Amino acid sequence: MSGCPYFEKRHLLFKNKPPTAEGEEDASQAGVNKASKGGIIYGEYLQLDKIVSAQVLQSELKGNKIHDEHLFIVTHQAYELWFKQILWELDSVRHIFITGCVRDERNMLKVNNRIHRIVMIFKLLVDQFSVLETMTALDFFDFREYLAPASGFQSLQFRILENKIGVPDNLRVPYNRRHYRDNFKGHESEMLLATEQEPTLLKLVEEWLERTPGLEVDGFNFWERLEINIFDGLNKEKEKIEAMEDSEDKEEMMLELIKQKELFTSLFDEKRHDHLLSKGERRLSFKALQGALMIYFYREEPRFQVPFQLLTSLMDIDTLMTKWRYNHVCMVHRMIGSKAGTGGSSGYHYLRSTVSDRYKVFVDLFNLATFLVPRHWVPKLNPNIHKFLYMAECCDSSYCSSEDSD
Amino acid sequence: MSGCPYFEKRHLLFKNKPPTAEGEEDASQAGVNKASKGGIIYGEYLQLDKIVSAQVLQSELKGNKIHDEHLFIVTHQAYELWFKQILWELDSVRHIFITGCVRDERNMLKVNNRIHRIVMIFKLLVDQFSVLETMTALDFFDFREYLAPASGFQSLQFRILENKIGVPDNLRVPYNRRHYRDNFKGHESEMLLATEQEPTLLKLVEEWLERTPGLEVDGFNFWERLEINIFDGLNKEKEKIEAMEDSEDKEEMMLELIKQKELFTSLFDEKRHDHLLSKGERRLSFKALQGALMIYFYREEPRFQVPFQLLTSLMDIDTLMTKWRYNHVCMVHRMIGSKAGTGGSSGYHYLRSTVSDRYKVFVDLFNLATFLVPRHWVPKLNPNIHKFLYMAECCDSSYCSSEDSD
Amino acid sequence: MSGCPYFEKRHLLFKNKPPTAEGEEDASQAGVNKASKGGIIYGEYLQLDKIVSAQVLQSELKGNKIHDEHLFIVTHQAYELWFKQILWELDSVRHIFITGCVRDERNMLKVNNRIHRIVMIFKLLVDQFSVLETMTALDFFDFREYLAPASGFQSLQFRILENKIGVPDNLRVPYNRRHYRDNFKGHESEMLLATEQEPTLLKLVEEWLERTPGLEVDGFNFWERLEINIFDGLNKEKEKIEAMEDSEDKEEMMLELIKQKELFTSLFDEKRHDHLLSKGERRLSFKALQGALMIYFYREEPRFQVPFQLLTSLMDIDTLMTKWRYNHVCMVHRMIGSKAGTGGSSGYHYLRSTVSDRYKVFVDLFNLATFLVPRHWVPKLNPNIHKFLYMAECCDSSYCSSEDSD
Amino acid sequence: MSGCPYFEKRHLLFKNKPPTAEGEEDASQAGVNKASKGGIIYGEYLQLDKIVSAQVLQSELKGNKIHDEHLFIVTHQAYELWFKQILWELDSVRHIFITGCVRDERNMLKVNNRIHRIVMIFKLLVDQFSVLETMTALDFFDFREYLAPASGFQSLQFRILENKIGVPDNLRVPYNRRHYRDNFKGHESEMLLATEQEPTLLKLVEEWLERTPGLEVDGFNFWERLEINIFDGLNKEKEKIEAMEDSEDKEEMMLELIKQKELFTSLFDEKRHDHLLSKGERRLSFKALQGALMIYFYREEPRFQVPFQLLTSLMDIDTLMTKWRYNHVCMVHRMIGSKAGTGGSSGYHYLRSTVSDRYKVFVDLFNLATFLVPRHWVPKLNPNIHKFLYMAECCDSSYCSSEDSD
């Protein structure tokens, strides 16, 4: 950034001292510092020779240079830079989960911050459309012919991103009547297949939710207690309504109550859950759903405050990705209209079909809002449980606490 | 962008047909189209091999990989990408002015749109700080030692941008007690010197304003008419006040009137203007200032609508650059505190000193707000002048109207 | 705004002087100024007693004060304030069109600025969701029971806004299985009906587009010339393709060409247009569509620069309204999940159904992107026409030029 | 919000049931529900009659209606609405601190969320300037005379907000050469004085930081350990440098080291701290500063994760308030220029002087960035201390856990 002399001289003092090697340095090391004093400068550090030389206009190559193509290129490159950053954060978070380091609750701050950073990047990416929208359909028309068959669909990083978060293969909308992977070259197609087979963020969060403290049947047994409370509550409602004088309202309330009962019966019905899971309408296991609801209800307990923030940020990512898709649709509508020029798939309609809950990975976290209950129906915690929910788990593995765990 | 099949097949039909060569195409040309059908794909088009491989962490090279350094790199690369785009737009606009094509008023839309695009990019760049702000001072501390002596001050593109817009050499705050150019290597320093010597956007806009139709002394003679109206108006005020009964208010109003008279006397005082100019407190010539005020007052006349938008956008750029500087200051305050660690210049204080009206290139356009007058003091246009202000100038040079003029 | 002493004393001098009454002021008037010197202060001016006392929590009235209800109220009030501002701008623009003042092209700046202001307000309103999103589903659940049956659907101003822009009655999605108006009380329902019967912005823009200079059959006759050029162009393409050697590519290109021909044939087919119009798939008259396309193609001509900006801003409004709807959907998904608790309409699904091109008023302006052609197919302007497109029309009615025209 | 049927019928079931009174409801209560079924509707709930009728144009009252005054009014009203919301959040947070409920760490989530909400509101308020900026200086000039002597400085809510956060009386820039309170009427001036005497957010956070677990001299004794580690570290550096061969670099490094030693000596010098405190250059007590640094260094420990987020959000508020002030300055520059029209204070220069670190309440949290040290200098936690920092404190007072605590 311009004019920012971040780097005070004093830091030379600390140079080249990895935390684990503090005693080993000697005077010769200090000499090395001296040698590197010339150091690196801004442009080399950022490899600007690559970055700012990568704008080659196809229109210019074809002898008809169109001014706005430069904007088109730079905007897409900026998107790809940020996709790379998102992947960087995503991989580090997945690594913390995969290695089990997430069990050391000290790592939750890191997980949370990095997921939050992804949220902030997606916010920027949603706003970034406003720049490309300074190009009109007519400006675009002047050079779009030169770009065929390049297509934004071919953004490998974006597809990998979707895969790593957890957009499942079988819920994807086909593109050009072909499986999404078949639109990529062999090498890239293999990379995509590989990322499909790695543990997704969804899967990792699911496993973590299944371990939510308090779910243990021989412990607090949240799920059973909740079921009891809810149906007790509904039965009391029923009695109150039955005691009312007959009226249209009474009837209506009774019908309502019956529907409520059905709704909550469905919540506790594991078979139904598994059925919805098989259809892709739910994504989290029955146990993970219980964990999420437990965190929702006891979010103020110290151990659940940061996990609750995490669940909120995961919904933020889903929301922002869907807003990104929708803003993309709006831009394409403006650029090429809603009709496919000629047979073949219409870009507009393909994109529109991806603005769907099928592409919302953490859709279950949203839908839990359907199953909220009054605070006094939530099972009360006794002092023991309180204490339990105050006491973080620690795994003192140096492996997890060192910075290079990611 | 992901999933965007912008490029319908039909465009193959129009391929390789520059507007100027329509008749020359033959069947062999069509054959070329066919050959290129394989065409270019997304990743090649955007040269993503360069873009997404340019993130090398110094901390990793030094054996102590710090996760957040990746964000630091990507953010700065994104800034540089956008700086390149701003320079692209800025150069094209300056080209239109330099070649005289701006005299063909058809080119005003282009000028306006491109300047507006710079505005939209700067808005994004101001917002972009929110991403880097997800890194705390403590995260930054972990790797900032590895970066010395790289510094954002060394962003060549940003300095060129300032020069091309019109930040003058002599108003710059010294950095590390040295002339700004001396902080760059020989080759870069020469490039900077060269851009200082090219016509700046400020200079080009000034020349254009000096030609504002209506300023001609032997024509509408705006400036003289305005002077007459203003002093007539003030005299009428004076008479009214003098007719009032004596009171504290009367005295106050009279004092006020005297100050007003002084203010407007200063507006028409060319010598005083030139004095302020020599001190850097004004930047536009006396004539250009007249043109700007004329455009302000008659902004609704058809010929002045787009010029008025242009003046507004130029102020937007100044405002956004100063907001960018200020947001930068805020971030640096958070990252390294306000004290220089140790002797040497403090980054925080250097940056803060650049958030100054000295760095506002179009400061005169803002300050004209001091010289506004009631609508009924503005010289009336007669039908001839109306017509005159309705009739755009055309320069039918094919040079200017062809797309490659930029 | 805090700390802003906008109002310099000198303005006392100009006080109470409407432009039309300049001569009539006398000393007694000046005396009035003096009397009013105490003047109005900030809080009174803004009627803050009303504004900041209008937050009454239903939960508190019901004896169970929930902190977050205050945010819910303030957010909605802020939306309504801005809706009022949008209506203010919209009515003033419609007034300029209805009174014919738009024929004085001096008023185009005003029209453009006000439409652009609506765009900027909608941008803010889209961003404003980020504040309400700090409330979680669980926070909302604590008080939502107290609000029944109040519903955002009942925002009268928003429905009026939709009507005045041009969302047609017959394309609206029914709400709770009832006509949208039937969800309002009698008095409000009548207001809605009345606004349906006033000229919409869509209608007014349509009439204005129909008068686009250059469409005259006995003049430049844009439409016929365009038709000729396009089919000439396509025929030349055909010849070129026919001259190619037989190949798969040749076949493909020929098929493509046929589709292109069909597409453009449809563009010039008035009957088909009227059919689409009757189904609500098009909204602008055939003539107005021609005008819009003419402005698109000759947008750089001085007379068309501002009209072109206007068309762009109208698309911006549509886009932002649809983004607003979509952001609203996303928030509701998070707040109440996707399932209706119990019979009755699901808020989520109702809202989702309004994120549709049926609610895009200026959809035709987007879809024109389908009918763009290479620059060399656009009919050439000769010098006469050039001059014609440089010369704004003036209507010197003092009615239109005075500020109270709006 | 438009079209949002948040309120499913089923909630009728839970109506009027405060959590503490669950058993007491009887059939007659249910009858009440029925009666209220008509319930409240949107417009009444939001008191829209007050909100949308509060726009009275002074220009219209004075017989010269100026269109843009409506925007001016609505924008300021929107600011005041949001100021009220910020005060609502701020008061609730201060209440949690004042009543001691903050000692129950379950309340940290609430504190954090509400402070974060203030952050989100300020972000919106910074963006909101973009709407008012659609008004040009010339539009503003047409009505600003009518507003005197109203001034944004007179925003009572904003001054109260500053006081409650902790902008101290004695660091304020005088306005119109008068004490800030003297610019308000008697009644308002008293309110301001009262808020100066209430505990500020700064003061409350300070007390909370002073209690940071781990500071106890007879416990972990963070401060002494840190001092030892830092000076040990610096001495080792010194030895290493002394062992180097003589050279210019060696000298430079030695000078550097001496400065570092001075810097850190100052950190541990309580007298110097108190001196800076008395001058207003520091704001937090010596003990509180220690607490903040402890939280910084051990932010990943479960008990400190949320406190660390809180410190970050407090800096966000400061940063956003200063950005708000700066954006305000930029707008005023554009609206009235930089010169005071006539004697008296210049609005522009007054506002500019408030964009100062004097108005940054939590400036110490920023400046701590100066005192960061390498991770291996931070005192190591042993397992006991780990456990200690994992175990939240609980205060089981029902007073604090019930929702009405705020």
Express each pLDDT in B261-300 by its tens digit: 999 999 999 999 999 999 999 999 999 999 999 999 999 9
Q: How high is the pLDDT of residue C346?
A: 67
Which of D32, D41, B219, A370 shows the shortest CA–CA distance to C63?
D32
Interatomic CA distance for residues A199 and A203, integer angstroms: 6
Q: What is the ipTM of this complex?
A: 0.89
Taking CA–CA distances from D259, the nearest residue in chain B reads: B342
Q: How high is the pLDDT of residue D400?
A: 61
Q: How many CB pairs under 8 A join B and D?
A: 100
At A365, the amino acid letter reads L
Residues of C in contact with B110 (CB under 8 A): 300
Touching subunits of D (3+ CB pairs, under 8 Å) are A, B, C
Q: Do C367 and A142 touch (CB under 8 A)?
A: no
Q: State chain C's mean pLDDT as an integer.
A: 86
- What mean pLDDT do residues A318-331 have? 94
In this complex, the residue of B130, B146, B341 whose CB is nearest that of residue A8 is B341
Distance from CA of A238 to the nearest CA of D (A): 10
Q: How many residues can be counted in chain B?
A: 406
Residue C401 scores a pLDDT above 70: no
Please tell me the least confidently modeled range out of A341-350, B180-189, B262-271, D193-202: A341-350
Question: Phi then psi for A374, rounded to 5 degrees?
Answer: -60, 150
Which of B191, B198, B196 shows the shortest CA–CA distance to B93?
B198
Residues of D in contact with C74 (CB under 8 A): 81-82, 84-85, 88
**CA distances from residue A321 to A118, A371, B316, C330, D358 in whole angstroms, order as listed:** 10, 25, 31, 11, 41
Q: How high is the pLDDT of residue B210?
A: 97
Q: How many CB pairs under 8 A join A and C?
A: 103
Residue C151 scores a pLDDT above 70: yes
Reduced to 3 states (helix: H, G, I; strand: E, B; else coil), residue C392 is coil
Interatomic CA distance for residues A14 and A34, integer angstroms: 12
Q: How high is the pLDDT of residue B15?
A: 42
Biggest CA-to-CA distance, chain B: 94
Interatomic CA distance for residues B98 and D253, integer angstroms: 52
Q: How high is the pLDDT of residue A396?
A: 52
What tens-digit pLDDT sequence spans chain D (406 residues)? Answer: 333 333 334 444 444 333 333 333 333 333 333 334 467 889 999 999 999 999 999 999 999 999 999 999 999 999 999 999 999 999 999 999 999 888 889 999 999 999 999 999 999 999 999 999 999 999 999 999 899 878 888 899 999 999 999 999 988 988 877 899 988 988 999 999 999 999 999 999 999 999 999 999 998 999 999 999 999 999 999 999 999 999 998 998 999 899 989 999 999 999 999 999 999 999 999 999 999 999 999 999 999 999 999 999 999 999 999 999 999 999 999 998 876 433 345 678 888 888 888 899 999 999 999 999 999 999 998 777 877 777 776 555 555 654 444 4
Interatomic CA distance for residues D318 and D323, integer angstroms: 9
Please tell me the least confidently modeled range out of A250-264, B98-112, C113-127, C143-157: C143-157
Residues of C in contact with D75 (CB under 8 A): 1
Which of A234, A224, A289 shows the shortest CA–CA distance to A260?
A234
DSSP-assigned letters across all residues of A98-125: HTTGGGSGGGHHHHHHHHHHHHHHHHHH
Interatomic CA distance for residues B223 and B294, integer angstroms: 8
Q: Summarize pLDDT for A3-48 with one digit per residue, the tens.
A: 333 333 444 444 433 333 333 333 333 333 333 446 788 999 999 9
Q: State chain A's mean pLDDT as an integer.
A: 86
Residues of D in contact with B296 (CB under 8 A): 138
- What mean pLDDT do residues C62-90 have? 97
**8 Å CB contact between A88 and B52:** no
Which of B130, A24, D199, D39 shows the shortest CA–CA distance to C130?
B130
Residues of C in contact with D335 (CB under 8 A): 6
In this complex, the residue of C141, C323, C339 whose CB is nearest that of residue A327 is C323
Q: How far is CA C46 from the centre of its chain?
A: 27
More reliable by pLDDT, D383 or B42: B42
Find out whether the peptide bond into D379 is cis, omega within 30 degrees of 0.
no
More reliable by pLDDT, C122 or B175: C122
In this complex, the residue of C141, C343, C355 whose CB is nearest that of residue A259 is C343
In a mutagenesis test of the A interface, which of D10, D15, D26, D109 is the best target, namely the one with the most A β-carbons within 10 Å?
A: D109
Residues of C in contact with D55 (CB under 8 A): 84
Q: Do C9 and B299 touch (CB under 8 A)?
A: no
Half-sphere exposure of residue B405: CA atoms within 13 angstroms, side-chain side: 22
Q: How high is the pLDDT of residue B222?
A: 96
Residue A209 scores a pLDDT above 80: yes
Interatomic CA distance for residues C372 and C370, integer angstroms: 6
* CB atoms inside a 10 Å sphere around CB C185: 12
Q: How high is the pLDDT of residue A114?
A: 98
In a mutagenesis test of the B interface, which of D359, D367, D368, D375 is the best target, namely the one with the most B β-carbons within 10 Å?
A: D367
Question: Token digits for A178?
Answer: 């072909």
Q: How high is the pLDDT of residue C394?
A: 59
Biggest CA-to-CA distance, chain C: 94
**HEC secondary structure over chain B:** CCCCCCCCHHHHHHCCCCHHHHHHCCHHHHHHHHHHHHCECHHHHCCHHHHCCCCCCHHHHCCCCCCCHHHHHHHHHHHHHHHHHHHHHHHHHHHHHHCCHHHCHHHHHHHHHHHHHHHHHHHHHHHHHHHHCCCCHHHHHHHHHHHCCCCHHHCHHHHHHHHHHCCCHHHCCCECCECHHHHCCHHHHHHHHHHHHCCCHHHHHHHHHHCCCCCCCCCCCHHHHHHHHHHHHHHHHHHHHHHCCCCHHHHHHHHHHHHHHHHHHHHCCHHHHHHHHHCCCCCCCHHHHHHHHHHHHCCCCHHHHHHHHHHHHHHHHHHHHHHHHHHHHHHHHHHHCCCCCCCCCCHHHHHHHHCCHHHCCCHHHHHHHHHCCCHHHCCCCCHHHHHHCCECCCCCCHHHHCHHHC
Q: How confident is the model at residue B394 (pLDDT cuts 50, 70, 90)?
A: low
Placement of tokens 């956007």 in the chain: B201
**CA distances from residue B163 to B87, B157, C374, D289 in whole angstroms, order as listed:** 11, 10, 38, 43
In this complex, the residue of D37, D240, D376 whose CB is nearest that of residue A249 is D37
**8 Å CB contact between A33 and D240:** no
